Amino acid sequence: MLIVMKKNATDHQVREVVEAVEKRGYTAHAIPGGERVSIGILYNKGSVDAGHFLGFGGVKEVIPVTKPYKLVSREFRQENTQIRVGDAVFGNGTMPVIAGPCAVESLDQVLRIAESVKKAGAKLFRGGAFKPRTSPYSFQGLGLTGLEHLTRVREATGLPVVTEAMDVETFDMVEAHADVIQIGTRNMQNFSLLRRAGKAKKPIILKRGMSAMLQEWLMAAEYIMEEGNSEVILCERGVRTFVRHSRNTLDLSVVPAAKKESHLPIIVDPSHAAGIRDQVVPLAFASAALGVDGLMIEVHNHPEEALSDGAQSLYPDQFAHTMKKLTDIRSIIESS
């Protein structure tokens, strides 16, 4: 941490800050500048709360240097974390694709979609049984019945299943049925849920919050890892910006940035970012070329009749065609 003093800060003010730093057990190091003094805080374990010193007299600015995360950081662990689920590995340079409908609507629906996405090359099946919905009047998911349908999908197709856990109360139930548990965008900083996910024996897909900084996202992953679960897959799904031509703005630059800071695998969900089918396919291609560790794509056999997110779901044929191109793009990227 660097504490920058105002030009006209008095020696007394500098001393007060130095004392406050040392009172907290850190080492303070005054750095004379051309026109002002700065004070470095050294030998701190982990990060120091920047806000703490901001209110002192004579202080102009406080600049954090050390990042607050540990377990998730690339400095803590240099090699990529690899997470194996069924045939798929996230983090080893390949790009497993997770596909399926937004919500589990019926057994027949999920079985049909699962067959077709498996045939097209998807490695995991997705489908929501518990659906966090903006409106209390929207379809909230089939709950336990939905989870049971997913179990049938696994039995019938061999595909591992990914589904969302919305709260601590139903987490056990989800954990019993899922192969990978998803924490949704709106729950990225639901810290009680993150702690529970940290005790799970299954890998977690942690979706980025609607306006989460990279650092906040990594701190959310840190909550999970700190409880003992080191299998966390980050998932970029678009962030909220001023833009209105897509539902969210897919932030692909977060992928290389996250890989630089963290050893965790990172996948992309172009469906929720786009909100409309026409944009999903090009954004999937872009993600593949970028070198992501996986993709999550919504597919529905009758998008027009989907109970949620129909407009962004691909038709099965469209998905199959997309998968072929994705494989080709990927073969180029992997051969670097």
Phi then psi for residue 73, to 5 deg, are: -80, 150
Q: Select 82 or 170, whichever has its Cβ closest to its own copies.
A: 170
d(CA 308, CA 303): 9
Supply the minimum distance, in Å, between the C-beta of residue 232 and its own copies: 13
Residues numbered 262-291 forming contacts with its own copies, rule: CB under 8 A: 273-279, 282-283, 285-291
Which residue, 77 or 152, is less far from its own copies as judged by CB? 77
CB of 176 to its own copies, least distance (A): 18
Span near its own copies by CB under 8 A; candidates 79-87, 107-115, 144-152, 324-332:
324-332
Q: Which of 10, 15, 22, 31 binds its own copies (CB under 8 A)?
A: 31
Q: How far is the CB of 329 from its own copies (least distance, A)?
A: 5
Report, in Å, the least distance between residue 78 CB and its own copies: 8
Candidate list 156, 310, 318, 320; residue touching its own copies; CB under 8 A: 310
Among 87, 93, 211, 317, the residue binding its own copies under the rule CB under 8 A is 211
Give the pair of three-digit tokens for residue 293.
């560790």
Question: Is the separation of the CB atoms in 193 and 167 below 8 Å?
Answer: yes
Would you say 61 or 108 has its CB closer to its own copies?
61
- Give the separation between CA 2 and CA 263, rounded to whole angstroms: 27
Do the strands 161-164 and 295-298 form a parallel or antiparallel pair, or are they unpaired?
Answer: unpaired
Is residue 77 at the binding interface for its own copies, with CB under 8 A as the rule? no
Stretch that binds its own copies, among 85-93, 142-150, 151-159, 246-254 (CB under 8 A): 246-254
Q: According to DSSP H, which parts of the chain are helical? A: 11-23, 50-54, 107-120, 144-157, 171-177, 191-198, 214-226, 254-261, 270-274, 277-290, 316-334
- In angstroms, the CA 288 to CA 126 distance is 19
- For its own copies, the binding residues in 98-157 under the rule CB under 8 A are 132-138
- For residue 155, which amino acid is it? E
Q: Which of 15, 257, 317, 334 binds its own copies (CB under 8 A)?
A: 257
Span interacting with its own copies, options 81-89, 117-125, 148-156, 184-192, rule CB under 8 A:
184-192
75 binds its own copies (CB under 8 A): yes
Nearer to its own copies, 82 or 249 (CB): 249
Q: What does the alpha-carbon distance between residue 336 and residue 331 come to, in Å, rounded to a whole number? A: 9
* Strands across the sheet containing 2-5: 27-32, 37-42, 2-5, 59-63
The neighbour count for residue 188, using CB atoms within 10 Å, is 21
Shortest reach from residue 208's CB to its own copies, in Å: 11
